[in-house]
Structure 1
Amino acid sequence: MNLRQHSLAEEFPLVPGLSHLNHAAVGPWPRRSAEVVRRFAEDNAARGSLAYLDWLEVEARLRERLARLVGSPDTSTIALLKNTSEALSVIAHGLPWRAGDNVVGIAQEFPSNRIVWESLAPRGVDWRALDLEQSSDPEGDLCALCDEHTRLIAVSWVQYARGLRLDLARLGAFCRERDILFCVDAIQGLGALPFSLADSGADFVVADGHKWMLGPEGLALLHVAATQRERLELHQFGWHMVADPGDFEQRDWSPAPEARRFECGSPNLLAAHALESSLSLLEEVGTTTIETLIRQRVDWLIAAIDRHGFELLTPRPPERRAGIVTFRVPDVASEHLYPALMRQQVLCAQRGGGIRFSPHFHTTEETLERAMSEVTRLSSTL
C-alpha cells in the first residue's frame, strides 16, 4: 500500500486537535469501516434481512482474515465470540481439570486474565502468578513456577499496563516439551505485530477486535487448536453451535466439528462488517510494515521521554515492547496529569503507575509532538 500521509488522513479523519494515543484501550475505526456500518444500517432500514446471505459472506471473509492474522491453516480453528473474557471462560471452564492442578500466569495481568483462572479455585485448581516486578527473566521464571501438576500457562503476549512483550516461542517450546497447554491473550499484539501459531505453538489464542485491529467492541477471536477442540466441555448451547444449524427441526443434533461449536447463538453481523473492513486495511498495509511504523513511533516517544528527563516504564529493548509506551514524570502525580491531558484532548490512559501512550501505524509525528508538548506544559503547572 502507498502510505501517503493524505491517504491515511482520509482513512482516519480524526477531529483536529485530538491526539489519539489510546489504541491499547479502544482504537478509532478507519473511514471504510464506518462507511460499511452506515451502509449496513441503511440496508437494514430499507430492506430488512433480504441480504442476509450476503451478510454471511462478509462473516466468512472475516473468519478467513482472522485465520490469516494468527497463521491458522484454515477457518475451522476460529470462533467468533463477544469478547476476550468470554473466550477465556470457554477455555477455563471447558478444560477437564483435576483437583491439585495449577495454572501459571502473571500477577500484573488485566483482570480478564486473572479472574477467570482464580474462578477455578472451587474446583481445586491453583493459579500461580509471577510478579513481574521481581523478575528479570519472565519466561524463565514462568517456567520455574511449573511443576508436574501444571496443566496450562496462560499469559498476555503484550502486557497491558507497561507493554512488556513476552517471547512466545520460548514459552511454547517449554510447554510442548512438558505437555503443558499454552493460552495466549493476544489482544495487545494482534494488529500491531506479526503473529505465528507455528512459532508460538499456542493451543488457544484470544483477542478482542477493538484495540489494534481497529474494529468495534463486542466481537472477539477465539482460536482453538484442532487437538484441543473436543477436549473443551461445552457450557453454552443453542441453534448456531450444532453441526447443521439450518435444520431447525432436528432432534438428534451434535456440536459442529469446527470451532463454531463455541458460538451458541446468532452472530453479531454488524460488528462482523466493521471488523472485516478494518482487517482489510491492515492486510493492505501489511503486518510487517505496520510493525515497522509502530516501532518508529514508539522510538520517537522514547527519545522524547529521555530528552525531557521523564522515567520510561515500558521495557527499552525493541524485542521486549510493541505499541505501548508507559512513562512517569518525576514529581508529578500521574493521577493528576492524566485528567489534565484528557481535557486537552490527548487521548491516553493511566496505567502501570504512569501515563500510557499507544500509537498505531497511522499516528502522525505531529500528533506525537503535540502530546509530548502538552505533557511538558501541564507538568510545569501541576
Structure 2
Amino acid sequence: MSTIPLHLNDDAPTACRELFPATSRCTYLDTGSAGLSFLGHAQAARPDEIDFFSGTTDALNIVGHSIDWHAGDEIVVASDEFPSVRLAWEGALRAGATIRQITVTSEAEREEALLAALKPGTRALVVAHVHSITGTKLDLDRLGAACREKDALFIVDGIHALGATPVSLAQVDVYVSGVFKWLLAGFGVAICVVRDRARARMQPAFRGYLNQLPEDGLQFAHVNYPGLFALGASLDLMGSTLGWNLVQGRTDQLVAWLAEELRVGGIELAAPEGSRAGIASIPVDDAEATRLSLADQQIFAAARGPYLRVTPFFYNSREDVHRLARHVLTHRL
C-alpha cells in the first residue's frame, strides 16, 4: 500500500497518479460512461436515454413530476403494487389528472386485468416488471404495444427484475431500477431509461448544471460516484466475466427446481408457471413463523403478507434449494 508523503512536489497531478495508479484508467466519469455503455447495450437503449438517480422512488417521482399532465388524463396502476409505484403520480392530480387503482384478483390474470383497464383516456400505465410480493413477471412487449394503441405511456419499475431476468425495452417508454438488489451494487444509485416518446411529453421538473436549457434530460446534478464504481464492478463480474446468460439462466433453473420440489409436496408458487423470474413467493399458513424457523437453520427469507419470499440467485446451489423446500414442507406439517 502506498504511503502518502507529507509534501507533494509541484506537479501534484502526476504525484497523485503515481500514488494511486488506478486513476490513470478509472475516474468517476469513465465509470459512469462505462456503465451507460453497458446498460445501453444490455437494454438496447442509447446512452443519452439513461439517467442516474439516487433510488427507484427518487426516479419515479422525478418522472411523475416531469410529465406534462392535463385535465382528464388517467393513470392506471394496480392497487397491490409497492407504494412507490402507486404514489409517485399524485402530483398529476393538481393538473386535473386521475389515478385509477385496479384490483388484481388472480396472478394468472394480472396481465389481462391491466390490459382491460386501458381506456381511451389512459395516458400512463405503471407496473412493476416483476411484482414485489408475488414475483409475477409481466410481458413488457405485450403491455407496451397495448399502451401505444391507446397513446399511453408505459412506465415500468424494474428493480425486482433487472439483473435476474432479460429486459426488453422495445415497447417501454420509461424503465426505472435501483441497483442494490439483483445487480448487487449497493444503495444510492438507480438507472432511469427514458425513451424519446416519453421525453416528448416531459419538461424536467428540476434544473441544474447537468440539464441546462436546451437540454431535456432529467438528471440535473451529480450522482453517487462511489456507487457508480460498485455498479461498474458488478456489471463487469456478471455481465462480462460470468455472462448474463449464465447468471439469468442459472437463476431460472434454481426457481424451477424449487417450484418442482414444492409442487411434489402440494405447494405452488404464487407466480404462474411461465411468468416467473428470480422472486419465488411461497404461500404458507404463517409466513413470519416460517421465516423464523428457516432463520434458525441459516436459511434466510422474507415474510410478505401470506407468502414466504425467497430470491435464489446464481451463487446458490441445488442443495440450497433442496434444504429450503424440505424445511418449508416440514414446517407446514
> After TM superposition, is the score higher than 0.5?
yes
What is the CA–CA distance in structure 2 between the aligned matches of 1:104 and 1:160, rounded to whole Å? Answer: 18
1:280: which partner in 2? 236
1:256: which partner in 2? 215
Tell me which amino acid in the other structure corresponds to 2:257. Answer: W
1:296 and 2:265 correspond? no
RMSD: 2.5
Equivalent of 1:269 in 225, 247, 250: 225
What is the CA–CA distance in structure 1 between the aligned matches of 2:118 and 2:196, rounded to whole Å? Answer: 25
1:328: which partner in 2? 283
2:39: which partner in 1? 66
Q: Is the 8 A contact 1:205 1:224 kept in 2?
A: yes
Tell me which amino acid in the other structure corresponds to 1:312. Answer: E
What is the CA–CA distance in structure 2 between the aligned matches of 1:94 and 1:308, rounded to whole Å? Answer: 50
1:375 and 2:328 correspond? yes
Higher RCO (CA 8 Å, separation ≥ 6 residues): 1
What is the CA–CA distance in structure 2 between the aligned matches of 1:173 and 1:328, rounded to whole Å? Answer: 32
Return the offset for 1:376.
4.2
Q: Is the 8 A contact 1:314 1:321 kept in 2?
A: no
Tell me which amino acid in the other structure corresponds to 1:256. Answer: E
What is the CA–CA distance in structure 1 between the aligned matches of 2:160 and 2:196, rounded to whole Å? Answer: 24
Counterparts of 1:198-217 in structure 2 under 5 Å? 198=170, 201-217=171-187
Tell me which amino acid in the other structure corresponds to 1:361. Answer: F
Return the offset for 1:52.
10
SS of equivalent to 1:286: helix
Q: Is the 8 A contact 2:74 2:100 kept in 1?
A: yes
What is the CA–CA distance in structure 1 between the aligned matches of 2:306 and 2:89, rounded to whole Å? Answer: 25
Tell me which amino acid in the other structure corresponds to 1:349. Answer: A
Tell me which amino acid in the other structure corresponds to 2:281. Answer: T
Q: Is the 8 A contact 1:324 1:356 kept in 2?
A: yes
Q: Is the 8 A contact 2:294 2:300 kept in 1?
A: yes
Return the offset for 1:97.
1.0
Q: Is the 8 A contact 1:163 1:315 kept in 2?
A: yes
Equivalent of 1:105 in 47, 59, 77: 77
Unaligned runs of at least 5 residues, structure 2: 1-15
Deviations 1:301-343 (A, max 9, x none): 112212333x3242232x21111111123xx411222233234
Deviations 1:351-375 (A, max 9, x none): 2411011111221122223333433
2:11: which partner in 1? none
What is the CA–CA distance in structure 1 between the aligned matches of 2:265 and 2:200, rounded to whole Å? Answer: 54
What is the CA–CA distance in structure 2 between the aligned matches of 1:191 and 1:154, rounded to whole Å? Answer: 20
Tell me which amino acid in the other structure corresponds to 1:202. Answer: V
Deviations 1:125-145 (A, max 9, x none): 222223222575333322222
2:308: which partner in 1? 355
2:100: which partner in 1? 128
Tell me which amino acid in the other structure corresponds to 1:344. Answer: Q
What is the CA–CA distance in structure 1 between the aligned matches of 2:190 and 2:86, rounded to whole Å? Answer: 18
Return the offset for 1:289.
2.9
Counterparts of 1:1-382 in structure 2 under 5 Å? 54-72=27-45, 74-134=46-106, 136-198=108-170, 201-242=171-212, 254-257=213-216, 261-284=217-240, 285-309=242-266, 311-317=267-273, 319-329=274-284, 332-379=285-332
Q: Is the 8 A contact 1:313 1:354 kept in 2?
A: no
Q: Is the 8 A contact 1:185 1:207 kept in 2?
A: yes
Return the offset for 1:211.
1.1
Return the offset for 1:379.
4.5
With normalisation by structure 2, the TM-score equals 0.86
SS of equivalent to 1:105: strand
Aligned length: 315
What is the CA–CA distance in structure 1 between the aligned matches of 2:92 and 2:276, rounded to whole Å? Answer: 31
Return the offset for 1:164.
0.9
Q: Is the 8 A contact 2:56 2:178 kept in 1?
A: yes
Q: Is the 8 A contact 2:104 2:113 kept in 1?
A: no
SS of equivalent to 2:27: helix
Change (3 A) 1:140 1:369: closer
Q: Is the 8 A contact 2:270 2:283 kept in 1?
A: no
Q: Is the 8 A contact 1:135 1:141 kept in 2?
A: no
SS of equivalent to 2:282: strand
